[in-house]
Chain A
Amino acid sequence: MRIHVSGALRGLALVLAAGVLPLAGGPLPAQQLKALKAQEGQRSARALAYASQQAPRLGLRTGEALTARRIFTTPEGRTVVRLDHTYAGCRVYGSSSIAHVEPDGRLKLVTTGLRPNAAPAGECRLTAEQAGAIALKSLRLRGQSLAPRVEKVVFPAALQGGLRPMWDSAAHKLVMDRTRSLFSAPLADAFVWAYQVDVAVWNKEDGVRDLHFVVDAATGAILRKLDNLQTEGAPTAAPGTGKGQYAGDVAVAAAQAGDGTFALQDPTRGSLPNPYFSGYEGLDITGIFTMGESHEGGDPTDYTRWGLNFFYAGRAANVWGDGLPFQDHPHENDVNGETAAVDAHYGLGLTWDMYRNIFGREGIDGIGTTPFAQVHIRDTSTGRKFDNAFWSGSLFGMFFGDGTYYPDSVLKDASGNAIEGNPDGLMSLTELDVTAHELSHGLMDGTAALSYSGESGGLNEANSDIMGALAEAYASRPAGQDGAIPDTGTDWLVGAKCRPAGPLRFMRKPSRDLMSADHWYGGLDWLDVHYSSGPMNRCFYFLAQGASADPAAETYSSFIPTGMTGIGNDKAARIWFKAISEYMTSQATYEEAAGDVVSAAADLYGESSPEVAAVKKAFTAINVQVAGEPLLARVVFPVVNTDGWLGRNPGSMMARTQIMPMGETVILSAQVLNRTDQRVTWKVGGHLGDVNNPVWADPSGVGVVNADGTWTAPMRQGWFVMTAASAAEPDQYSQGMVLAVNLDCDNDAEQDAVDMATTALSYYMPYSLKPTASPYNGPWVEDADANFFQTAIRNSWGAK
């Protein structure tokens, strides 16, 4: 739903009193902007009052309200007020609105992300402590976590989680991803009371995790689970020099302490202390800083973190790094170890400058809170080198591994030799676009806060990839031209330098990695967020750089065969940032994002501008429906069993999941929307994401699609990808998943309800004796098994 509500001109007097004339388009003069920022409190209060006045029109009922969560004023003078939706004073999870107060006082509400009429059913029987305990218990932690943060919320059933498959590269098949799957019964009501529980874990036994749960306040069931770990004395400023492995010779924004020594801390970027260090460590560190992990200690695999981290500080000279790849332990804190720190510190500062100079934003949260970088991290569970980098919102810092490309000199094999390097592995993940990528996850936390799963998760990842590419371009700007992002300087590849075997992602043609999607399709949200980002990356490239009309070119899109002209990196960047900071909300889909980006472009360049037309064309090029454009064909699966596990939340992924007994025959059914030709072709198996890509084809058989339109599943457990494509427009397709379970738990060669006896007995068994009489080969028996029996029997043999 998108409702734009224009306010009365009642606020004009306020603006005029401030001496600010209504302006359209570009940045305001500094004095006018300062005056508007000084009025942020009053302007946001007006916005809030207006939103409250409009509540009935927005569908809000008794007990529901909108409350201001975050306020900022753009360089153009628009005050943006992000509004939480509440019921009885508690936030409605995943539901929010945005109010815009223009310089002339006009008001607008963006309600794309609002889920009104949210009165929850049921009662709140758990305490916050119980909810936190349930979340912790489900983690089966071996070490300690930080104290969970618990918030009572109203939870929409449409956001309930479900089953997730993952690719087992050893077994070469899809298996259940137990860490991300949820087995709770579907909610019968549209909204329920719940607790949001956030748990940060940072220890040797469990690694670094930043987990987010929603726990049903009535039943204790976990309704949603995400890992928010988004991968990849006052000192004085003292500019130094450094050699990075990727950045080369660069200026280093360092600091000089009272004793005359130097540190990788930048007091010129960051005005508020890092919240983790001030909150948990009692250290007030203001100004971005870079740390390392030393790995000292008697046990070479003991990478206990605290006490072994160090600051790059205490140096007599303000010269850093040797520009060479990391040589491994024990060089973390010497000149070679400084090299990765130089790259990370440089990337952090450059990205900070791009936010400041292009987007008018002070740091990732807009108020100057200090982030940090930590290099040389290892996998805290295995002690091995780490092929990843990540942002942790809870710690407000980003972490970089050194990759597995080189042999690991710390861990030895049975013969005492260093563990062989991985030819497909990475080197230190401190390349500029990776650094900007991770920092931009923090930016995302402070703007649209796109939820890290499904389509919104792909958009979140795309934002980071986009910012990484833009940071590369920004780094190439001519001296003195800080106010624009050049059109050159980026290769539109993610991690091209830090992975010798090839880039991590290809923004121009994402499917070149054999995992990512090039365009939107039904079922895109099944992909890992690093691959569902593909269409948005490609869309942004088209918007900035254009698309070819040559079918042989990798920038060609069959959805716009004549190609398009790009509007340049700088304009595309400003439009995108405005969209994520002023329009997009946490659960945005690609289609909603398209609307948000169109709105942002219209704000900056006018409704009828070439820039708006380019945005529409770029989204069309990735098969996203843009409002007002000709309707695209869409293939959809009907919701089956509206009383059962699949149908309760038709907006959720479970609506496209079928659970059935293996070997059964079922009717295949799909519809083509917006077209009279309803013919559909079916494909079973293959790669999630690309109907024609056989890389994930299952060698052990995927059953038979019969001539009568039915599918006979093979006699084995497993996940199967079902793709229905429009026969007339094969580019239009939708993918669902089938989980075939083996109900024959009593091994009598027949699947039936009697098999539940054996499974129930497994449930009865003392833990140490539990046989694995699970219909999906679970390692133990739990409610999920009862769920699977009920679902599979109902779906295949239930009432029709």
Chain B
Amino acid sequence: MLKSASRFLAPALTLALLTACGGGSVSSPGPAPVPSAVAATGFAYTDPAEGGWRLVKDPSSTATRLVLNLVGPVGTKSRGVGFNLQAPSAVVFGTFPNLWHAQDAGVFDLLNHHRPEWDLPASPEPVFFAAGVKTGNVLTVGIFQKDRLIDAKAVAAPVVQIALEFDAARAAQVKAGDVLALALTKARHVPEDIGRMNQDGTYDEGDVLAKSKPVDIQIGVGVLKGI
């Protein structure tokens, strides 16, 4: 009956978006564009500096499909992370075999295993994992555990993947060497400590209420160029 009309709406690359909504970061300025008359045929991506949350290039990337892994700081544990990434209209956010615009890398345990009354193994169920492209070519990604009894996970390994695809038609004005600014407009994660819950089911109400909140984070984004 209905289909999204977002593709019909003009992309709104506003500066306001770049600075809105809590955490996030903007890609480093990078070198000045090198004037070139050669139309770009693909992308090159330079990883951001080590440390912290960041989007790094996956080895499976090609010139026309750049796969980026979200990794976290070494030693940090998390229960899930979400972010919004805005790209110029020349960049197409790609999909994965799951037909989402992101791929679960398998670090987080998304299922609710706590069903002692049923004594069932894990089974397919709705999970807090979703991704899509909003108006303005903003990729929004979220992946979160939902069971308090499941441990937080180390996030130094990739936790979620996204893909940036080169589309010749949409990138017709992009020249080799042009920088395509990526803007991380929002990023939050659910930390390991979300308030103490005891084995006997009791809990510290004040502690739980104080800590059961997502935390703003900065995600480093590298430099994307046409090649």
Interface size class of B (residues with CB under 8 A): 35 or more
Q: Is the CB of A786 within 8 A of B127?
A: yes
Tell yes or no: B60 within 8 A of A by CB: no
Tell yes or no: A570 within 8 A of B by CB: no
Closest CB in chain B relative to A663 CB, distance in Å: 11
> Within residues 128 to 152 of chain B, which ones have a CB less than 8 A from any CB in chain A?
128-134, 138, 140-142, 144-148
Q: Is the CB of B141 within 8 A of A800?
A: no
Q: Is the CB of A754 within 8 A of B83?
A: yes
The complex places the Cα of A239 from the Cα of B99 at a distance, in Å, of 73
Chain A contact surface mostly: mixed
The complex places the Cα of A195 from the Cα of B185 at a distance, in Å, of 48
Closest CB in chain B relative to A715 CB, distance in Å: 14
Q: How many A-B residue pairs have CB under 8 A?
A: 203
What is the chain B residue whose CB lies nearest that of A798?
A: B132
Which A positions have Cβ atoms within 8 angstroms of B? Answer: 125-126, 130, 133-134, 137, 183, 185, 188, 218-221, 637-638, 640, 643, 656, 658, 660, 664-670, 708, 710-711, 722, 724, 736, 738, 746, 748, 750, 752-761, 763-766, 769, 783-784, 786-787, 789-790, 793-800
Q: Chain B 179-222, CB within 8 Å of chain A: the 1/0 string?
A: 00000001111100010010001010100110011100000000
Q: Is the CB of B142 within 8 A of A798?
A: no
Q: Is the CB of B212 within 8 A of A666?
A: no
Q: A660-B2, A763-B112, A766-B203 are in contact. List 8 more A-B contacts (CB 8 A).
A: A710-B8, A738-B1, A753-B82, A754-B188, A769-B209, A797-B6, A797-B134, A799-B99
Which residues does chain B contribute within 8 Å of A658, judged by CB atoms?
Answer: 1-2
Q: Is the CB of B4 within 8 A of A796?
A: yes
Q: Is the CB of A761 within 8 A of B125?
A: no
Indicate the member of B117, B140, B145 with the most A CB atoms within 10 Å: B140
Q: State the 10 A-B residue pairs at the shortest beta-carbon distance, nearest first.
A: A797-B132, A753-B142, A754-B82, A637-B1, A757-B214, A760-B144, A786-B126, A787-B126, A752-B140, A219-B123
Q: Is the CB of A753 within 8 A of B190?
A: no
Q: Is the CB of A769 within 8 A of B21?
A: no
Q: Which of A724, A746, A753 contacts B131 (CB 8 A)?
A: A753
Which residues does chain B contribute within 8 Å of A724, judged by CB atoms?
Answer: 1
The complex places the Cα of A683 from the Cα of B132 at a distance, in Å, of 28
Provided the pairs A786-B127, A799-B95 are in contact, do residues A220 and B120 lie with their beta carbons within 8 angstroms?
A: yes
Which B positions have Cβ atoms within 8 angstroms of A? Answer: 1-9, 20-22, 79-80, 82-84, 95, 99-101, 112, 115, 117-121, 123-134, 138, 140-142, 144-148, 186-190, 194, 197, 201, 203, 205, 208-209, 212-214
Q: Which of B4, B121, B201 contacts A664 (CB 8 A)?
A: B4
Provided the pairs A637-B1, A790-B130 are in contact, do residues A757 and B124 lie with their beta carbons within 8 angstroms?
A: no
Closest CB in chain B relative to A344 CB, distance in Å: 43
The complex places the Cα of A681 from the Cα of B202 at a distance, in Å, of 58
Closest CB in chain B relative to A126 CB, distance in Å: 7
Closest CB in chain B relative to A741 CB, distance in Å: 12
Provided the pairs A219-B123, A760-B190 are in contact, do residues A755 and B22 lie with their beta carbons within 8 angstroms?
A: no
What is the chain B residue whose CB lies nearest that of A188?
A: B124
Q: Is the CB of A765 within 8 A of B212?
A: yes
The complex places the Cα of A755 from the Cα of B186 at a distance, in Å, of 11
Q: Which of B20, B100, B142, B209 contacts A756 (CB 8 A)?
A: B142
Closest CB in chain A relative to B218 CB, distance in Å: 14
Q: Is the CB of B1 within 8 A of A133?
A: no
The complex places the Cα of A668 from the Cα of B21 at a distance, in Å, of 31
Which residues does chain B contribute within 8 Å of A790, judged by CB atoms?
Answer: 126-127, 129-130
Q: Is the CB of B120 within 8 A of A125?
A: yes
Q: Which of A638, A757, A795 contacts B142 (CB 8 A)?
A: A757
Q: Is the CB of A667 within 8 A of B3?
A: yes
What is the chain B residue whose CB lies nearest that of A760?
A: B144
Q: Is the CB of A185 within 8 A of B125?
A: yes
Which residues does chain A contribute within 8 Å of B112, judged by CB atoms?
Answer: 763, 783
Q: Is the CB of A757 within 8 A of B95?
A: no
The complex places the Cα of A800 from the Cα of B84 at a distance, in Å, of 19
Q: Is the CB of A799 within 8 A of B101?
A: yes
The complex places the Cα of A798 from the Cα of B101 at a distance, in Å, of 7
The complex places the Cα of A185 from the Cα of B111 at a distance, in Å, of 13
Provided the pairs A126-B118, A736-B1, A798-B99 are in contact, do residues A760 and B141 lie with their beta carbons within 8 angstroms?
A: no
Q: Which of B9, B125, B147, B208 contacts A219 (CB 8 A)?
A: B125
